[in-house]
Structure 1
Amino acid sequence: MRTTRLLAGALACATAVACLAGCSDDKKSTTATPSAGSSASGSNAEETEAAESALEALPPAEITAKAKAALLQAASLTMELDVSSGSQGVKGKLSMDKSGHCSGTMSTGGGSAEILKSGDTSWVKPDAGYLKMMDSKAAAKVKLGQYIKGGGDDDLVSFCDMTGFAEEIPDGSVGNEVTKVGTETVNGARAVVLSTTADDGQTSIYVATEGIPYPLKMIHKGDTTATVTLSDFGKSVTVKAPPADQVIDSSQLKD
């Protein structure tokens, strides 16, 4: 699955800040849509239970197709990720929308960075620990608390891509077969658990059985291990560009 290539790429980039400054020594508000996990009451309870049973009764490929369609139609979401490969690891929480707005943080063993993105422009504010992982010449040009301005397609913000992530949900075709393995609860919402195996490892997908069938979580186990949790579907995402006197362009960090 390309999903794990995205995870591995984000891991490599986040741990080196390579997209913005080079390795050391060596990509508005939105209209709200109903969120998964909203509860039914009264006469709607039986209808909700029936809907859950109906979704769980579907073939696995149909469930993943519905999950992909739901994610593609979502106006916005919040993604939490925890990725590791060997001795490297990165965690992050990003809120994003289809209009190209994204905000959040990513952290690795030595530090963290605030991420802002609006359209084709991104701003990354590294903390002291993150600055130490940058190329020393580039880091010397960045003041603590300053944002590094880059393109919206920088690898460090590659996870600010709702459509790209949705496209990676397996469709049940040859080489992407999916099986059902049970049900679990994700942040209070009931989910049917699906599993798929590829050359890069095994991935479990948790799809909401109540309300819109959003994918609520994905867990990958392989050379790269990762947990991605999705929530806050339809909540507005607002990004404000940092003041000009707090910004340095990434082009100024290159030799």
Structure 2
Amino acid sequence: MAANRKLLAVAAACAAVVIGVTGCGGDNGGDKDPFEGMSADKIAKKASKTSKNAGSFTMKSQVKESTGQATGEFTVAKGGDCKATIDSGKQGHSEILTVGDASYMKADEKYWKTTAGATIAGRVKGRWVKAPSKGDSACALGDMFESKKFKNLKREKDAEVDGKKAAVLVKKKGDETTTFYVAMEGKPYFLKVTNDGDEKGTATFSGYGEAVDVKAPAPGEVVDQKQLAGL
């Protein structure tokens, strides 16, 4: 799943955006700054708690690769179930489902040949490969909202993300710059994270608190990872 995790570098490696503990801000309106008097670190931690409290969300990511651009869309439900699609110029197209304690992956021939070889690619063509999730699937985005890492941020000029006004918080570490965008209207969710350094990319967030339906594939469409062992 290393290729899948790379898509998370934008939001995770930067300074671990996103989910904290409890509490959420009230709705904000008008031109008043809802974060007046708050440091950039405190704004980020407030957004962390609010985003965590929402329980569900969708993240779309874009990460620059040597061969082009990798994109991913991850939708996480309350309770941890998840569905994702990932497209990479290096490794092809893959889909992921995490339901309970099981993880399922379906991918194109390019992906399987690149990661597992031609024999496996032939065995799993058009089918889902089932494996224990163990909390380490590409959909395990729990670290995204860790509030303890929001330190030494600086607030810069406000901006807009998809028409929504956002506070802009910047963290610089060496040659790497990570920028967090926090909603200033409604609840203070994270709206976007960009990373400019060794890993260049963007992650945008939406669908906070919305219902997410994730279902396991039909048994006839699944091959267990154990069946592939030794091939």
TM range (shorter): 0.7 to 0.9
- Relative to 1, partners in 2 of residues 1:104 and 1:197: Cα closer, same or farther, differing over 3 Å? same
- Alignment partner, residue 123 of structure 2: 141
- Alignment partner, residue 151 of structure 1: 132
- Alignment partner, residue 250 of structure 1: 225
Hey, what's the Cα distance between the residues in 2 that align with 1:210 and 1:154? 33
Q: Residue 233 of structure 1 aligns to a residue in which SS?
A: coil
Greater per-residue helix proportion: 1
Count, aligned residues: 212
Hey, what's the Cα distance between the residues in 1 that align with 2:209 and 2:199? 30
- Alignment partner, residue 11 of structure 1: 6
Picking from 66, 69, 72, the partner of 1:92 is: 72
Counterpart code for 1:247: V
- Alignment partner, residue 96 of structure 2: 115
1:105 and 2:80 aligned? no
User: Which residues in structure 2 correspond to 1:1-255 (within 5 Å)?
Assistant: 10-11=5-6, 48-49=29-30, 52-87=32-67, 89-109=69-89, 110-136=91-117, 137-143=119-125, 145-153=126-134, 157-161=137-141, 163-167=142-146, 170-172=149-151, 177-199=152-174, 201-255=176-230
TM superposition shift of 1:225 = 1.1
Q: Which runs of 5+ in 1 are unaligned?
A: 1-5, 14-34, 41-46
- Per-residue deviation, residues 93-150 of structure 1 (Å, max 9, x unmatched): 111023111112111115211111112211111123323323223223212x200112
Counterpart code for 1:60: A
TM superposition shift of 1:88 = 6.7
User: How high is the TM-score relative to the length of structure 2?
Assistant: 0.81
Hey, what's the Cα distance between the residues in 1 that align with 2:107 and 2:182? 34
Q: Residue 33 of structure 2 aligns to a residue in which SS?
A: helix
TM superposition shift of 1:56 = 4.9
- Alignment partner, residue 18 of structure 1: none
Hey, what's the Cα distance between the residues in 1 that align with 2:79 and 2:30? 34
- Per-residue deviation, residues 173-227 of structure 1 (Å, max 9, x unmatched): xxxx000111111122110110002247110000000111001100011111121
Q: What is the percentage of aligned positions where both structures have the same residue?
A: 31
Hey, what's the Cα distance between the residues in 2 that align with 1:213 and 1:75? 14
User: How high is the TM-score relative to the length of structure 1?
Assistant: 0.74
Q: Residue 237 of structure 1 aligns to a residue in which SS?
A: coil
Hey, what's the Cα distance between the residues in 1 that align with 2:169 and 2:78? 26
Hey, what's the Cα distance between the residues in 1 that align with 2:3 and 2:94? 18
- Per-residue deviation, residues 39-69 of structure 1 (Å, max 9, x unmatched): x8xxxxxx6125x513154211110110111
| 8 Å Cα contact 1:120/1:151 also seen in 2 | yes
Hey, what's the Cα distance between the residues in 1 that align with 2:134 and 2:173? 27
| 8 Å Cα contact 2:4/2:86 also seen in 1 | no
Q: Which runs of 5+ in 2 are unaligned?
A: 9-23
Hey, what's the Cα distance between the residues in 2 that align with 1:169 and 1:8? 26
